[in-house]
Chains A and B, each alone.
Chain A
Amino acid sequence: MDQDKFRINIGCGKNRIYGALNVDTVQTGYCDSVVDLLSFPWPWESNSVDEVYIPNFLARLDTNQIVSVIKESHRILKENGLLHIQVPHLRHVKKNYDPLVKTGFTLDSFDFIKGNNYIFPEALFAEETLELNSFGLSEGNNPYIDFELAKPDSTFKYLYKKLSNKISNSSPKYFGNSAYLSAGLQEIVYRGRKIKTDKTVDIAFVLRPSEFGEFLPFPEMSLTAYLRQEGLSAVIIDGNPVFKGDFTIKDSIYGEYFEYVKNEILKVKPRFIGLGTFTSDYDFVLAFTTEIKKYWDAPIIVGNVQATVQPEDFIYEGSTVEYAVMGEGELTLVELLKAPNNLPETLRNIKGICFYDRETKQAVRTQSRGLIRDLSILPMPAYDAIDMSYYTRPRKRVIGYAFYAVVPVYTGRGCPFRCRYCASGSVWGEHSIRNSPIDRVIEEIKYLVSNWNVDAIYLIDDTFTVSRPRVLEFCEKIKPLNIVWAAQTRVNCIDETLIKAMREAGCIQLTFGVESGSQRMLDLMHKGITTEQIKKVFGLCKKHGMRTLANMMFNLPLEESDDVKKSYEVYEEIKPDDFGLGLTVAYPGTEIYDDYFPQKLKKEEYYMLAEGRGYGKGRFRLCSHDLDLEELLVDFRMNLKLQPLFPLFIRILFNREYLEMVFKSKRRWEYVAAIIKNLPVGFMRAGGILVYNFFLIFPTEIKRPLIRYANRMGVRYGN
């Protein structure tokens, strides 16, 4: 026998195998070590053993123990490793008279190893041998294994048995299953080689289709990376790169998108399916889980906003969702996936989940887990788990509205500020910031640049500049990388020193939440900034050549037409390079939802939050004035006093810094293609603005049909 191989003889009894580690549950006088073979996992590493021999041990076990032993053998065996089983035949006399033998076997007994059943959905071993054996272990001269204790039998008996083996195996099914012919048979020998089943992953995260597919699925990527670090496997099933925004939301459940996701799930055969849940995704989650369970029945775990704020929406009797992970999912998910069973007493000990307890018939929220204080325990998000070529194509919705091969990067989590329209506090559980070490962030950026040809980084932290020394450290360390980047922050958290340092370090744009030009509104929303600060900081940005993007909100609670007017005035004064425009929506988990949204949403109504066109209408109308909000948005977008004629991606073509970047980029032709493809849109917008502003001299009654037309054309959405 090849001495280099690691062989284990499981339940050796009195049959030692040469060159193997002979183990049994009790000291039989013949074994090398005593191991409790019925408690799992066994003490050997996964993928560490070349050959596993199980002579006669299985016959002494219960059915469930047999399954566990085979699963465990699969775990410890290397790929293509040998599993050798010898068991007494059902008709063998020993089976009927030996009180230690619980189970008899037939040739069909090993069919379940072939897979395609509820125990083993997938085959664990490729069958090599399945034979009837007349020799039996105790009789010696076993043709299959080199036993140390095997004694030579009489030559006549040996020849007889050899002949008997030959005959019975000429038609094993016939001899093995026939009551009369099989009576003299002793054993069944099974040999199989381990099939690598790394296709069976612990969890598959399913992404819902996103209209623009601009932002990378960071929650799923971060979870995937952490699960991998903890020895679990995860995949992200993302149809966005396949369909490239070409689908309707309905498709996500019933159409091609669903087909794609379903096929991927059947391919990877996950133990669990994970879904992120934004409040407005509620319908999608329920419809998707109901539908997917028809094809692949794995427990569903939901996480993210809605699962944190209101997990009971998902966890109720008869729900298609089994678990909700509340708050940050990394640590919780690892515990949940590693849990030995799904009994309530086990689940109750896992912090930060919500599950349905069938005995008490109620949803149980376990103790809160709290936040991960030290973000350096988290590995870099698993960028390789998604189609990065799609997510790094030059696109314009990430930095301003100009084309960049850009990747958003988080340098920290949480937001300390308490704006009343934001659910950040209830999602994180508190208002605080936790930062990754700057060196880690720089490492990540270097990785992105060298692996994915990324030209720009967008720091997606809610408020990047909250720690001044940290920003200065970042600027100093990113400067040598010679990469363009942008960040978002607040006007009260930045000053000239920082703006100057950031600009010099390659920052091209700062995004500010201006929200309103009315101090009354800013104070009411607990925004914590003043209009003076807004004007001052925008002035400083202009001075240092920093591009600015101002996010504006209308339909704020108790907003009067006077407040709208003030927003117009302040905006006209600060003249940002670009803008984001939105109508305020009261989301569950925000203070304005509690205070200004009297008719609360039922969970069946959450989908309304996804319908942009319903914002600011009916119960979603929060403002006190009676201006038509859609007209207001169109007017804000098209008004030449407020907006430049050409969109940013056209204006920027005359910027030397931008052109240099495009020229240097390995993706330069992708930029050219993207820009040319979008030029007609840009010029159409300019034409629209000219026509609109010409009509401004006429009274509202004449303008209105134009506004309605522009609105129908989707002006309020595009930039």
Chain B
Amino acid sequence: MLAMERRSFAAALASAPSGDKTLLKALLASALATLAFGVVVGSIVALTRGGALAPAVENGYRLLTSHGVAAFFFWLYFAQAALLLGLAMTHGRDRPALALRPLAWLGGAAMLAGFVASQVGTWLGTPLLYDGEPDLVGDDRANAFLFYAGYLGLAFGLALVALSAIATAIAGKAERRGAAWSAVTFGTVAWAGLILVSAFAVINAFLPAALWATGAGPRPADHSTAWHILFHNLHYLPLMGAVLIWYALVRDFIGAGSVFGERFSKVVFALYLVFVPPTSLYHMFLEPGLSPLVRALGSVLSLFVGVPTIAAFLVIVISLEARARAAGRRGAFGWVRALPWGQPAADALAVAVLALAFGGTFSFVLIQEKLAGLLSDTFFVPAYFHFLTVGTVSLTLLAGIAHAMPGLCGRAPPLRRLLRTLPYVIGAALLVFALAGVVGGLTGLPRRALDVSYGGQAPALWRTVSIVIGVAGALMAAAVLAYALVLIGGIARFGCAVGAAAAHEIAVPPERAVVRFSAWSAPASVAVLILAIYAATALAFEIIRGLPVLASGSGH
């Protein structure tokens, strides 16, 4: 068992049955294809926002809907489905193999059908944006049904994939005579459990709308509330997956797990689940009938929203630093050199962590009760969530795919230098895009209006900011597209063949020596993060106080 525990993700994948590897490759190819589609559409949206393109208004909203559905939903969940199954079988079992594989195939097929249905519904019907508000449907209910059926297909498919992952981990536990799961396996089961709940939340939000669209039910009365609950899950779910991938990859990089022990890591992963429901109240800040006491309670609980991610960050980085110092790395940041910088995954993860710091800072500004109503309908929202969805989650998923590729395809990803460079291009473009968006958002720049000139009545700053957003957004999309295409090439076996031992040799540092070394970088980073949140909040209040605000409201 110990030998299995020390085997890397890629090495264990290499020994999986070919049928399982084919399934994972099919899911990853679907993920990367939906990402490529989503960012191409996204680049058109960005160029429209920047004034370089001017599609008809309805097509502009179709582009926005199509981008949101493809990139925020199907890319993220195809990739998570593949990596979830990969982690479940490689960490959960001594001999990697999926349980209930036909169920996972059926799930992947349902997700693919869902993607096609949602896109057809978007391009042939009324563009509903990604929250699919029934009030926008009008008379064309048939295409609205297709759009809603797309989400239901995604939910059904994800549930089947999650069941296969859970069954795999449970089969592994039974094979090991009931021995406790490793931290990664427990985290994978917790992640799969949250996927099942999120699938139910999708059904809760979109089944009433789908029934109404077919004439089999009344118009949904509380679609926006159901959407907010789903949306809350969708904040946590990809982030939980991303953090688990960090944990698994860093474990491969340094050859050992957390210095705090497996059990403590399980507590951290369980924290994600414990904190999901109570922190959901802040999404209700925009509900007009919310009582002041619930509003206050939501404000207090929202402060805990980042606790699991910060705890996981501390565990991962402290472990990495302590082990690197024990291995002789000196200097304030000498431990950073212990990461395998020759591998594309390391660069992508580094940018992902930096993006999380920015996204986390601005998310705490947005969820404050006094600011939520003022900022939720501005470009502040896409600015902060692109830090998280593109910078943190997408780059982490791409890193996970690049890391898994040698085991899955027998070849390292092609164009290694390009893959090492692209995360920094994506990160730089994202920084410009998002900071311009934050500036625009704090001055009231609307998020869902593609032309913000308002016949020359809009503030001059909005025009400048929109051009910056357009150019940086298009550059970011181009770089993400390039990364996706390179990985698609890798799946199509264009990369360099790797020897069986190349990705598998791992040196395990001595455990006793490790705990004697101090590791201060992660706690210091968290202190800087808290100061940054304070500063950003104070700045937001100062800027907004100077604006002639007439009304606030709407939702995200």
Answer whether A and B are interacting partners: no
A residues adjacent to B (C-beta < 8 A)? none
B residues adjacent to A (C-beta < 8 A)? none
